[in-house]
């Protein structure tokens, strides 16, 4: 049986390139990321709003941030415009990046945003965040990582505990400003 992966037919006999019509007609069995938009961060800005990125086209999304730099070392925050403070909940697992230090965990609620959505320092911006169901009228979940001295961490789960449909997202550093990086938005194709 042949499967289509990265626009190439793969089977026991090897691989061969798929035509454009074969790619568009193929029914994918695995979720595929579909590019939606790229936003370039300006110079020394305190926040970026991504407008209209969530829609009925996709149920789940990935946000990637790379390049650029920050005015200081800190983490990035995500905020859904209009969401009530009481509806933000976070569970975090983290540890020091020196060998032998134990991991720790923490939780938070009643913020106006989600912390630890990515990392910012004076040489780069980094984030990889999966967002489930932001446009659907149900709870929204996020998963992310962060790494900055002296900690490495993974946000086990972020929960926006409401049933509001969101189309926009604000991204900003916990302190300072950021510059020149790219924010790429992808949707997970529906099977």
Same-domain status, 38 and 95: yes
Residue 76: which CATH number?
A: 2.60.120
pTM for the full predicted model: 0.79
**What is the three-state SS of 10-60?**
EECCEEEECCHHHHHHCCCCCCCEEEEEEEECCCCECCEEECCCCCCCCCE
Mind listing the pLDDT tens digit for each residue in 132-189?
999 999 999 999 987 776 666 766 689 999 999 999 999 999 999 999 999 999 999 9
Same-domain status, 55 and 21: no
Number of domains in the chain: 2
**Coil vs helix vs strand at 170:** strand
d(CA 191, CA 181): 32
**Coil vs helix vs strand at 23:** helix
Mind listing the pLDDT tens digit for each residue in 57-114?
999 999 999 999 999 999 999 999 999 999 999 888 777 766 666 666 677 777 899 9
């Amino acid at each position: 049986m042949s499967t289509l992966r990265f626009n190439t037919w793969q089977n026991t006999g090897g691989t061969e390139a798929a035509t454009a019509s074969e790619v568009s007609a193929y029914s994918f069995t695995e979720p595929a990321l579909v590019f939606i938009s790229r936003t370039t961060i300006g110079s020394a800005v305190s926040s970026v709003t991504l407008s209209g990125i969530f829609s009925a086209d996709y149920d789940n999304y990935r946000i990637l941030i790379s390049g650029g730099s920050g005015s200081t070392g800190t983490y990035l925050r995500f905020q859904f415009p209009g969401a009530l403070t009481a509806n933000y909940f976070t569970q975090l697992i983290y540890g020091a990046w020196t060998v032998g230090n134990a991991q720790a965990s923490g939780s938070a609620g009643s913020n106006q945003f989600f912390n630890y959505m990515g990392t910012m320092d004076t040489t780069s911006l980094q984030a990889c965040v999966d967002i489930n169901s932001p446009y659907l009228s149900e709870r929204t979940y996020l998963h992310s990582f962060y790494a900055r001295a002296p900690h490495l961490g993974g946000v086990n789960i972020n929960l926006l505990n409401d049933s509001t449909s969101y189309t926009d997202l604000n991204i900003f550093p916990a302190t300072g400003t950021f510059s020149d990086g790219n924010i790429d938005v992808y949707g997970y194709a529906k099977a």
